[in-house]
Amino acid sequence: MENKEIFIQAINEKKKVKVKINTDEKGIIIRDCIPFDFGTGKLPGIRYHFLDLTSPDGPHNLSVLPNKLLEIEILDETFNPADYIKWKPNWKLARDWGEFS
């Protein structure tokens, strides 16, 4: 499966993911994340949008260009969108997250 297919599956199953990313600032990093969306955002270009749960700097949004996402793995751990979504979402990718869709 390609990264985008894995990402969409994780969104649909409400599963956390482990990602390996090639960053310009820190080199290759590995993080556990909540998959949020795929599409345009505040930064230029189409990107994967995550909530980074395991950053040494604490949880934060993480936007990744497709060519920088080296690997994505679906973890066994599920998440509840209500624990992380504190705004009225306007997702690019459709999903069934109840009131957080």
Reference 70, options 30, 32, 21, 37; nearest CA is: 21
Instruction: Provide φ and ψ at 6, rounded to 5°.
Output: -65, -45
Q: Is residue 53 part of a domain?
A: yes
CB neighbourhood size of 46 (10 A): 11
Count of the separate structural domains present in the chain:
1
CB neighbourhood size of 32 (10 A): 17
Q: Is residue 97 part of a domain?
A: no
Is 27 exposed, middle or buried, given 0-12, 13-18 or 19+ CB atoms closer than 10 A?
A: exposed
* Model confidence, pTM: 0.94
Model confidence band, residue 74 (pLDDT cutoffs 50, 70, 90)? very high
Q: What is the CATH number of the domain that holds 23?
A: 2.30.30
User: Which residue range forms the structural domain that includes residue 37?
Assistant: 3-88
Percent of the chain with pLDDT over 90: 93
Question: Please, are residues 101 and 95 in contact by the beta-carbon 8 Å criterion?
Answer: yes
Summarize pLDDT for 40-66 with one digit per residue, the tens: 888 788 999 999 999 999 999 999 999
Q: Is residue 98 part of a domain?
A: no
Percent of the chain with pLDDT over 70: 100
Could you tell me how far CA 87 lies from the centroid of its own chain? 16
Q: Work out the mean pLDDT of the chain and round it to a whole number.
A: 96
Q: Is residue 12 part of a domain?
A: yes
Q: Is residue 13 part of a domain?
A: yes
